[in-house]
């Protein structure tokens, strides 16, 4: 089989890799590229811009490695497995955009596209801590919170490709913190990197560069950092309990930048999870740290490319 190329697309970063069938990344490339430009005024120019950026990044890498098949995780909602982008919160001009088809034309290869968070779940199940589990809820704790669900070995995306908006589960219904989605009290407003940094600035009244530094302070016993990280762990545990009460899925995997604070987050998370489950499910849920660091999405992209 010829090589498969995997792409993980973020708002400002593009990662490309050649992944072998054992899930090893044998070549990799990273680019900074703004998919969303303020200059765009119509869907047509926004489409052209996105296709141009992606093609210019992917084509040389694909030629170099003799790849003729692309799998891609992309931040947006898709109509089923069609590769038709229904919408994307970061790219509001794009509606019902035939992303996979257009990209297939410009690249001259088969293209399979899936929601980025669902792609990470697929990668985690195939190669990571979710191996051998038919049902899996995967959570990516990064700038925001993404989530993907596998049910009975099939990626689940819902009626509009919008399933598993786990980051927007509401924990504080009445006086919760404002979330990027416009609602209040979402778990993302407490337990994403953005939220941690914001909380730190507010509570500790000083600036901090990144979430990693907050975890470091917590490890050193600083009360302020402990308060914030404990709160993040608790809120994640509460939100996972809500998901488990609905789905009765008992393997949860967690990846992304914040999983670097696992030693700090996990105890509070586990305690609140067990507190909030219904009695017969208490103690039955495994919350596992990803073994794939930030590669789950890339490995999922390779998996969907191979499965089509």
Q: Which residues bind its own copies (CB under 8 A)?
A: 77, 87, 89, 135, 149, 151, 156-166, 168-173, 181-183, 238, 241-243, 245-250, 275-276, 278-281, 284
Q: How far apart are CA 237 and CA 269, in angstroms?
A: 4
**Residue closer to its own copies, measured from CB, 167 or 261:** 167
Nearest 5 degrees, angle CA 24-CA 27-CA 28?
Answer: 105
Contacts of 291 (CB under 8 A, 6+ apart): 128, 129
**Residue closer to its own copies, measured from CB, 30 or 282:** 282
Contacts of 136 (CB under 8 A, 6+ apart): 121, 124, 125, 130, 149, 150, 249, 251, 252, 253
Structure tokens at 152: 């009975």
CB of 270 to its own copies, least distance (A): 16
**Residue closer to its own copies, measured from CB, 219 or 270:** 270
**Residue closer to its own copies, measured from CB, 171 or 298:** 171
Contact 163, 205 (CB under 8 A): no
CB of 269 to its own copies, least distance (A): 14
Q: How far apart are CA 100 and CA 268, in angstroms?
A: 41
CB of 267 to its own copies, least distance (A): 18
**Residue closer to its own copies, measured from CB, 251 or 295:** 251
Q: How far apart are CA 14 and CA 72, in angstroms?
A: 10
CB of 123 to its own copies, least distance (A): 21
Q: How far apart are CA 1 and CA 70, in angstroms?
A: 13
CB of 298 to its own copies, least distance (A): 25
Contacts of 272 (CB under 8 A, 6+ apart): 233, 234, 235, 236, 237, 238, 241
CB of 135 to its own copies, least distance (A): 6
Q: How far apart are CA 268 and CA 276, in angstroms?
A: 12
**Residue closer to its own copies, measured from CB, 132 or 279:** 279
**Residue closer to its own copies, measured from CB, 52 or 284:** 284
**Residue closer to its own copies, measured from CB, 28 or 242:** 242
Indicate the DSSP class of residue 294.
Answer: G
Burial of residue 296 (number of CB atoms within 10 Å: 0-12, 13-18, 19+) = buried
Q: How far apart are CA 105 and CA 111, in angstroms?
A: 9
Indicate the DSSP class of residue 176.
Answer: P
Q: How far apart are CA 281 and CA 252, in angstroms?
A: 14
């Amino acid at each position: 089989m010829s090589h498969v190329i995997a792409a993980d697309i973020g708002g400002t970063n593009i990662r490309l890799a050649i992944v072998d069938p054992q899930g090893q990344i044998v070549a990799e490339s990273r680019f900074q590229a703004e998919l969303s430009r303020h200059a765009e005024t119509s869907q047509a120019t926004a489409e052209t811009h996105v296709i141009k950026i992606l093609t210019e990044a992917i084509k040389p890498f694909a030629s170099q490695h003799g790849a003729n098949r692309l799998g891609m995780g992309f931040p947006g909602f898709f109509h089923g497995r069609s590769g038709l982008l229904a919408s994307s919160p970061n790219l509001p001009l794009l509606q019902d955009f035939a992303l996979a088809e257009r990209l297939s034309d410009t690249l001259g290869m088969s293209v399979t596209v899936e929601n980025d968070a669902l792609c990470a779940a697929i990668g985690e199940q195939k190669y990571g801590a979710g191996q051998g589990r038919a049902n899996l809820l995967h959570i990516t704790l990064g700038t925001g919170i993404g989530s993907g669900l596998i049910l009975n070995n099939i990626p689940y995306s819902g009626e509009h490709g919008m399933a598993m908006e786990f980051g927007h589960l509401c924990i504080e219904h009445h006086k919760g913190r404002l979330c990027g989605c416009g609602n209040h009290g979402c778990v993302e407003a407490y337990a994403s990197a953005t939220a941690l940094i914001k909380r730190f600035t507010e509570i500790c009244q000083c600036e901090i560069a990144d979430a990693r530094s907050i975890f470091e302070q917590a490890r050193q016993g600083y009360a302020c950092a402990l308060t914030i990280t404990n709160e993040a762990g608790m809120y994640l545990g509460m939100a996972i309990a809500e998901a488990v009460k609905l789905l009765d899925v008992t393997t949860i995997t967690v990846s992304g930048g914040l999983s670097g604070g696992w030693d700090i987050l996990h105890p509070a998370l586990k305690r609140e999870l067990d507190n909030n489950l219904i009695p017969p499910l208490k103690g039955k849920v495994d919350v596992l740290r990803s073994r794939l660091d930030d590669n789950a999405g890339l490995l999922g992209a390779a998996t969907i490319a191979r499965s089509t």
